[in-house]
Chains A and B, each alone.
Chain A
Amino acid sequence: MEVSGDHKFAAPRAAVWAALLDPRALQASIPGCEKFEEVAPQSYDLVIKVGIAAIKGTYAGNVTVTDPVDGESYRLVVDGRGKPGSVQGAATLTLIDDAGGTLVKYLGDVKAQGAIARLGSRLLGGAAKLMIGQFMKAMEKQVEARS
Chain B
Amino acid sequence: MAIITPKMIGERVKRREDPRLIQGRATYVDDIKIAGMLHLAFRRSDIAHGIIKSIDVSAAQAMPGVELVITGAELKEFLPPMPIGTPFPSPDHYSVAVDRVRYQGEPVAVVVAADRYLARDAADAIEIEYEPLPAVIDPERAMTGEPAIVHEAFANNLAVPYVPGGTGFDPVAGTVDNTAVDKAFAEADFVLSQRMLNQRLAPTAMEPRGVVAHYEPGKEHLTIWSSTQNPHILKTFVAALTGTPDNQVRAIAPEVGGGFGCKINIYGEDYVAAALSKKLGKPLKWIEDRSEAFQATIHGRDILAYVDIAGKNDGRVTGLKIKLIADIGAYNMILTAAIPTLTMLMLNGTYDIPAIRAELTEVFTNKMPTDAYRGAGRPEGAYFVERAMDMVARHLNMDPAEVKRKNFIKADQFPFATQMGAVYDSGDYEKTLDLALKNAKWEELKAERDRMRADGRIVGIGLSFYVEVCGLGPSASLPTGGWEYSSVTVERSGKITATTGASPHGQGNETTFSQMLSDQFGIPMGDITILHGDTGVVKQGIGTFGSRSQAVGGTALLKAGEKVKDKMARFAAALLNPNEETDTSNMVFAEGRISFKDAPGQSVGFSDVAAYAYVPVPLPAGMEPGLSDQAFFEPANNTYPYGAHIAMLEIDRETGEPRLLKMLAVDDAGTIINPLIVEGQLHGGLAQGIGQAMIEEVVYDEDGQLITGSFMDYAIPRATDFPWFELDKTVTPTPVNPLGAKGVGEAGTLGSTPCIVNAAVDALSPFGVKHIDMMLRPEKLWRIINEGATG
Interface residues of A, Cβ cutoff 8 Å to B:
83, 85-86, 111-115, 117-119, 121-122
Contact = CB atoms under 8 A, between A and B. Distances in A.
A8 to B, nearest CB: 33
A9 B11 CA distance: 78
A118 B703 contact: no
A114 B703 contact: no
Contacts of A112: 705
Contact of B712 (A114, A115, A122): A122
B124 interface: yes
A97 to B, nearest CB: 38
B294 interface: yes
A64 B291 CA distance: 33
B477 interface: no
A114 B124 contact: no
A118 B710 contact: yes
Contacts of A85: 46
B707 interface: yes
A115 B46 CA distance: 8
Contacts of B712: 119, 122
B701 interface: yes
B479 to A, nearest CB: 34
B339 interface: no
B322 to A, nearest CB: 34
11 contacts: A85-B46, A112-B705, A114-B46, A114-B104, A115-B291, A118-B294, A118-B295, A118-B710, A121-B701, A121-B713, A122-B713
| Count class of interface residues, chain B | 10 to 19
Contact of B291 (A111, A113, A118): A118
A117 B710 contact: no
A118 B124 contact: no
A113 B104 contact: yes
B706 interface: yes
Contacts of A114: 46, 104
A-B interface, 8 closest residue pairs, ranked by CB to CB distance from nearest: A118-B709, A114-B46, A117-B705, A113-B46, A121-B707, A83-B124, A119-B710, A85-B46
Contacts of A122: 712-713
Which of B47, B294, B705, B713 has its CB near the most chain A CB atoms (within 10 A)?
B705
Contact of B703 (A83, A111, A119): A111
B741 to A, nearest CB: 42
B706 A117 contact: yes
A114 B709 CA distance: 10
B705 A113 contact: yes
Contacts of B701: 117, 121
Contacts of B46: 85-86, 113-114
A24 B709 CA distance: 39
Given A113-B703, A118-B294, 11 more contacts: A112-B705, A113-B47, A115-B709, A117-B705, A117-B707, A117-B709, A118-B291, A118-B710, A119-B710, A121-B707, A121-B713
A119 B710 CA distance: 6
A118 B47 contact: no
Highest count of chain B CB atoms <10 Å: which of A85, A86, A118: A118
Contacts of A115: 291, 709
B721 to A, nearest CB: 21
A82 B716 CA distance: 30
Contacts of B104: 113-114
A64 to B, nearest CB: 19
Nearest to B124: A83
Contacts of A119: 291, 709-710, 712
